Amino acid sequence: MIKCRKIAEKIKEADAILVGASNGFSITEGLNLFANNDRFHRLFGDFEQKYGIQNILQGFFFQWPTEQERWAFTSRLIFHYSCSYTGSPVMDALKKILSEAPYFIITSNGENHFELAGLDPAHILEIEGSWKEMRCNRGCHDTRYPTWTAVVRMTEKEKNGHVPTDLLPRCPKCGGPMTVNFQPKKVQIQAYQHFVEKYHNEKLLVLELGIGARNQLIKAPLMRLVDQEPEAFYITFNKGELYIPRGIQQKSMGVDGNLGEILPEIAELL
């Protein structure tokens, strides 16, 4: 594809690369929070039959009758998609692209794949939090706690969609239930601001990977940044849902296609 050559050139010239990634990237890796597909049936068929939940997102926000059931679902999800993650071709391609320049990733994906794939956690902002952390569900204090050890134990001992009560994570301060953390960390927000300031007026390449056209959380701020930065260039990858505002069209490019095919093609050219 001619566009891939042009993109590879932009990557090689860039002083820094800022990646925005959302659901479309996860879906390319096989994790679809919205789909009632074969993977969902295989992993969560029992919950689907018993409670009628249709996809992962519904499971996250379902009013589970008990903590044993809530954590049975949650631990199975995190064990399968985070603890057992071994990478993907599209992630390998992204890593190769990011080896070309200093980078930062801003993502709404909570499953932690960028860090698990070996990208630097100091250069990642998880704007909707991370599944590897939990906090007090009553909000009695702000500290985040790691989830994985508890997740592995719960997954091992889960029976018929229930986790044994003694394995349920408890708040160390108030003894109340814990929940997966869906808030960004302050230190990550500061790291992002620092990155943007550091490459002010330089050739900043923004790669937007699989973010819906109406996304306000990542897409809107990235487009504003490109608008303000004189040397910035913006490339959006989205299958069937490209959107570039008129104000930044001169320094933008849209690629309508499958990330799983395009990113490896670009990485090959580097």
10/70 with CB nearer Zn ion? 70
Q: How far is the CB of 10 from Zn ion (least distance, A)?
A: 48
User: Which helix (H) or strand (E) is 72 found in, with range?
Assistant: helix 67-78
Q: How far is the CB of 61 from Zn ion (least distance, A)?
A: 21
Distance separating alpha carbons of residues 2 and 266, to the nearest angstrom: 10
For tokens 């050890």, what's the residue?
149
Q: How far is the CB of 167 from Zn ion (least distance, A)?
A: 18
Q: How far is the CB of 176 from Zn ion (least distance, A)?
A: 5
E-strand ranges in 156-203 read 178-181
For the chain, the helix, strand and coil percentages under 3-state DSSP, each to the nearest 5: 45, 15, 35
| Chain contacts with Zn ion (rule: CB under 5 A) | 136, 138, 140, 171, 173-174, 176
Distance separating alpha carbons of residues 119 and 230, to the nearest angstrom: 28
83/150 with CB nearer Zn ion? 150
- β-pairing verdict for 130-136 and 145-146: antiparallel
142/197 with CB nearer Zn ion? 142
Single out the residue of 66, 38, 34, 68 nearest to residue 53, CA to CA: 34
What are the distances in angstroms from CA 11 to CA 28, 32, 156, 219?
21, 28, 44, 20
50/141 with CB nearer Zn ion? 141
160/165 with CB nearer Zn ion? 165
Q: How far is the CB of 72 from Zn ion (least distance, A)?
A: 22
138/153 with CB nearer Zn ion? 138
Q: How far is the CB of 54 from Zn ion (least distance, A)?
A: 31
Distance separating alpha carbons of residues 256 and 240, to the nearest angstrom: 6
Please answer whether residues 201 and 6 qualify as being in contact, where contact means their C-beta atoms are separated by less than 8 angstroms.
Answer: no
DSSP 81: I
Torsion of CA 78, 164, 153, 65, to 10 degrees: 10
